[in-house]
Amino acid sequence: MVELTVIEGNAPAAEADPAAAPGVAKVYGQLVLAFPQDLYIPPDALEVILESFEGPLDLLLYLIRRHNLDVLDIPMASLTRQYLSYVEGMRHSHLELAAEYLLMAALLIEIKSRMLLPKPSAESGSEPEDPRAELVRRLLEYEQMKLAAERVGAIPQAGRDYTLVQVAVGERLAVTRFPDVSPEDLRQVWVGLLSRAKMSRHHKVTREQLSVRSHMTRILRALRDRAFMEFTELFSPERGVPEMVVTLLAILELGKEYLVTITQQAAFAPIYVRVRDGSTFD
Amino acid sequence: MEAPSIDPRQAKLILETALLTSAEPLPLSQLKRLFDDELDADTLRRLLDDLRQEWDGRGVELVSVASGWRFQTRPQFQHVLDRLSPQRAPRYSRAVMETLAIIAYRQPVTRGDIEDIRGVTVSAPVLKALESRGWIEALGHREVPGRPTLFGTTQQFLDDLCLRSLEELPPLEDMDSLLERAAQSESASPAEQAQEEDGDAPAGVDVEVNSGAAGDGRSSC
Amino acid sequence: MEAPSIDPRQAKLILETALLTSAEPLPLSQLKRLFDDELDADTLRRLLDDLRQEWDGRGVELVSVASGWRFQTRPQFQHVLDRLSPQRAPRYSRAVMETLAIIAYRQPVTRGDIEDIRGVTVSAPVLKALESRGWIEALGHREVPGRPTLFGTTQQFLDDLCLRSLEELPPLEDMDSLLERAAQSESASPAEQAQEEDGDAPAGVDVEVNSGAAGDGRSSC
């Protein structure tokens, strides 16, 4: 554990009188803190205070601003002392928060000790850098962003300060659009398929063949809902002889492909066409 | 905290604002909460009626549906709004189109037949897409081991493609010229081809999606 | 399809309807499509300005944000609307807001950059909160050991804050005034500040939305 001791050195002059400072924080409306000598932090108050600060830079900034210290000429002794008082308090109840605060404590002590050391003579002619410069830069950059955060937070936000309008759109948009397909698309696809599959040339696909196929479908569909149909029922003589021929071819093709069974008990008895399924399999 | 009577103009502004921003229809019981329950249902209804009239002739109307009140677009404005989201007509994948072509030209066919021709397996979603479109249906089973389902095209398919019968499907020429053509046409898109040769293909099967004018989007035969 | 000259009244109705129904802000380029690109940008802007004026004094206003035009409620109406949905959008902690500010003003930044400026580690939930709100996103990686992610703000962030561009963010306090900042500016303790923040929602149940303010109203944008 880091042993924290406040080094009381010959701090630069012009320390603000901390005794004049008003309370540090209000807890439940009560002023609970006064700086610095008799710093007393009630345990509950400490929690409130720590949650109010976003880290060591925030706390430092607060101490500096509270005591009207000049950022460009921070009295390190006083600042470090006050800061360490907080860290001491934190070590008791908020150890898990302390890492970053401890790091800052170490930095403050380092800066303070470097300020105590005699400055190396400026041989190169350049002004030696103030050990506080980097801290000041960080403090100012943080303060700048802290103010920016407050301003951004004050901008009205969707959902918090206003609501977006959204009127329902009537039903029609809900209808999903189906792809359009034209017969020509189908032909193209079919042609592509044939060439891709390098289907054998003797595979005869003709208009007649198609028409037989379409009747095969028609017959199967008709048979789907009925156990069997009479052969003659499948023909529509009024549609002409070619149609009847094609229907016959379709029935024969169905039989050939084992899709239907065609039965006749005796010569000139009715011919029945039925869908082949398990029960009629023979 | 406030006067018991609420300015009707202000009340309508509040109702309008709440209804314009609510994703769901708002029932009276909820609308009441806007006024800390200080307006009774009758007053609210009267205000809503007023509000509805104020929106007469606009593109959006205030309606009362089963679950409450809401603003919604008037149907007359629908086709204008469609221009904002000109959903490019979706296209079926090659798998779907090839499967459809095989079923159309070779029906009745089983999944196995389709796979034999395409050389790849036919995934369930492909057949599902065509079935849910109402374009193919199961006709029965082929009595071979596994009793595979036989598929064919439906009347709906013919209707949607403006065909009176399967015979009106574009004829397939003899294989020699067909394979020749196939080689050439590989590059051209089906749509272009369709325009080139307006042979047997019934006119009016509009592949182009005319977003504005296409009224109800259905092409007539 | 339609006459080359478009009736302004009708055009405004169409714009209004489209903007009321759109979930996203609509840029001019999209709004043009409503009129088949027959209105130029200037005409559209004039119509939108007209429309905005017509909505003066209502609970809803037409605003222009980074990604386009949209309707949204006036902030004065928010506390009334909150009565309908008790769960409000989250108020972000100072840690979240400071992280957001650093990302907004210093982007692209890594987590390490943010930690350097804030002096504390940035916890995962802080970045998560901003990411899930869609306000920040990973832009890539800085090519140093560990390849830390670079964060920036999104278009959504601008939209949600009613900004048209990052330049519209409040200007950063310049160094001079930061140095001059006297103690009084900080006189309120952080604890008090926190209280103030919580208290900005008008307490109580007043239904009155201060119609005057709504009229010539401070717009949220």
pLDDT at C2: 44
Region A274-282 average pLDDT: 60
**How far apart are the C-alpha atoms of C217 and B166, rounded to whole Å?**
68
From A183, A201, A206, residue closest to B205, measured CB to CB: A183
More confident residue, B198 or A29: A29
More confident residue, B1 or C114: C114
Q: Are residues A71 and A14 in the same domain?
A: no
Categorize the per-residue pLDDT at A260 as very low, low, confident or very high, splitting at 50, 70 and 90.
confident
Residues of chain C in contact with residue A25, where contact means CB-CB under 8 angstroms, are 189-191
Residue type, A97: L
Q: How confident is the model at residue C103 (pLDDT cuts 50, 70, 90)?
A: very high
Say whether both A101 and A142 belong to one domain.
yes
Q: How far is CA B145 from CA B103, B127, B148, in A?
A: 21, 21, 8
Q: What is the predicted pLDDT for the residue at A123?
A: 59
Are the Cβ atoms of B73 and C17 closer than 8 angstroms? yes
Same domain? For A32 and A111 the reply is no
Count how many Cα atoms sit within 13 Å of the Cα of residue A72 in the half-sphere of its side chain.
Answer: 7
> Tell me: the pLDDT tens digits for C205-214?
344 444 433 3
Q: Mean pLDDT by 10-residue block, N- to C-terminus, for chain B (221 residues)?
A: 69 95 90 91 94 94 89 86 70 89 92 87 89 92 88 90 84 58 48 37 30 37 58
Instruction: Look at A255 and A38; give whichever has higher pLDDT.
Output: A255
Q: Which residues are within 8 A (CB) of A186 and not within 5 positions of it... i.e. 6 or more apart?
A: B97, B100, B101, B104, B105, B161, B169, B170
Q: Which domain holds residue A29?
A: 1-40
Is B20 within 8 Å of A258 when comparing Cβ atoms?
A: no
| Distance between B127 CA and the closest CA of chain A, angstroms | 15
> What's the Cα-to-Cα distance from C103 to each of A129, A149, C137, rounded to whole Å?
30, 10, 10
Taking alpha carbons only, the member of C40, A254, C29 closest to residue B84 is C29
Give A89 or C92, the one with higher predicted confidence: C92
- pLDDT (0 to 100) of residue B174: 53
Q: What is the pTM of this model?
A: 0.58
Mean pLDDT calculated for residue range C168-173: 92
| Subunit contact A183:B20, Cβ cutoff 8 A | no
Pair C136, C103: CB distance under 8 Å: yes
Confidence of residue A55 (pLDDT cuts 50, 70, 90): confident
* pLDDT grade for A93, boundaries at 50, 70 and 90: low
| Residue B193 or A275, more confident | A275
pLDDT tier at A139 (50, 70, 90 boundaries)?
very high
Q: Note whether residue A50 is domain-resident.
A: no
My answer on whether A60 and A148 are in the same domain is yes
Residues A214, A96: Cα–Cα separation, whole Å: 81
pLDDT band of residue A16 (cuts 50, 70, 90) is: very low
Q: Is the per-residue pLDDT at A67 higher than 70?
A: yes
**Residues A28 and A104 occupy one common structural domain:** no
Asked whether residue A187 is domain-assigned, the answer is: no
User: Is A231 a domain residue?
Assistant: yes
User: Quick one: pLDDT band at residue A259, thresholds 50, 70, 90?
Assistant: confident
Residues A60, A90 within the same domain:
yes
Q: What stretch of H or E contains C109?
A: strand C109-110
Distance from CA of B123 to the nearest CA of C (A): 36
What is the spatial distance between Cα C72 and Cα C19, in angstroms, rounded to a whole number? Answer: 10
pLDDT of residue A49: 65
Count interface pairs A-B at CB distance under 8 A: 198
CB contact, 8 Å: B180 with chain C? no
pLDDT digits (tens, 9 = 90+) for A152-204: 999 988 888 888 888 877 654 444 567 778 888 888 888 887 776 654 444 44
State whether B83 and C34 contact (CB < 8 Å). Answer: yes
Return d(Cα B57, Cα B103) in angstroms, integer.
Answer: 51
ipTM associated with this complex: 0.59
User: What does the DSSP assignment read for chain A?
Assistant: -PPP--------S----GGG---S-EETTEE----STT----HHHHHHHHHH--SHHHHHHHHHHHTT--GGG--HHHHHHHHHHHHHHHHHH-GGGHHHHHHHHHHHHHHHHHHHSPPPP-SSSSPPPPTTHHHHHHHHHHHHHHHHHHHHHHS--BTTTB-B--PBPPGGGGSPPPPP--HHHHHHHHHHHHHHHT--TT----HHHHHHHHHHHHHHHHHHTSSEEEGGGG--GGG-HHHHHHHHHHHHHHHHTTSEEEEESSTTSPEEEEE--GGG--
A135, part of any domain: yes
% of chain C with per-residue pLDDT over 90: 58
Same domain for A216 and A268? yes
Lowest mean pLDDT among A11-20, B96-105, C144-153: A11-20
CB contact under 8 A, A210 and B118: no
Counting the structural domains of chain A, the total is 3
Is the same domain home to A81 and A17? no
Which residue in the block uniquely carries the two structure tokens 């156990």? A227
Q: Percentage of chain A surpassing pLDDT 90?
A: 10
Question: Do residues A69 and A138 both lie within one domain?
Answer: yes
Average pLDDT, chain A: 73
Task: State the smallest CA–CA distance between residue C81 and chain B in angstroms.
Answer: 6
* Whether residues A85 and A114 fall in one domain: yes
> Hey, are the CB atoms on B97 and A217 less than 8 Å from each other?
no
Q: Are B148 and B141 in contact (CB under 8 A)?
A: yes
Chain C residue with Cα closest to B19: C81
CA distance A141 to A132: 14
How far A56 CA lies from chain B's nearest CA (Å)? 43
> If we measure between CA atoms, which residue out of A17, A23, A6, A11 comes closest to residue A84?
A6
What number of CA atoms fall less than 13 Å from residue A206's CA on the CB side?
6
Q: Is residue A179 part of a domain?
A: no
Task: State residue A182's pLDDT score.
Answer: 83
Q: What is the pLDDT of residue A120?
A: 66
Give the per-residue pLDDT at B71.
93
> Does any CB of chain B come closer than 8 Å to the CB of residue C37?
no
Residue A88 and residue A137 in one domain: yes
DSSP B219: P
Contact between B85 and A177 under an 8 Å Cβ cutoff? The reply is no
Q: What pLDDT does residue B221 have?
A: 58
Kindly state whether residue A75 falls inside one of the protein's structural domains: yes
Are residue A256 and residue A218 in the same domain, yes or no? yes
- Say if A160 falls within a structural domain: no
Residue pair C74/B13 in contact by the 8 Å Cβ criterion: no
Residue A282 domain-assigned?
A: no
So what's the pLDDT on residue A153? Answer: 92
pLDDT digits 0-9 by tens, A109-130: 999 888 888 776 655 666 667 8
Kindly report the CATH number assigned to the domain that includes residue A267. Answer: 1.10.10.580
Q: Report yes or no: A173 at the B interface, CB cutoff 8 Å.
A: yes
The predicted pLDDT at position B211 comes to 34
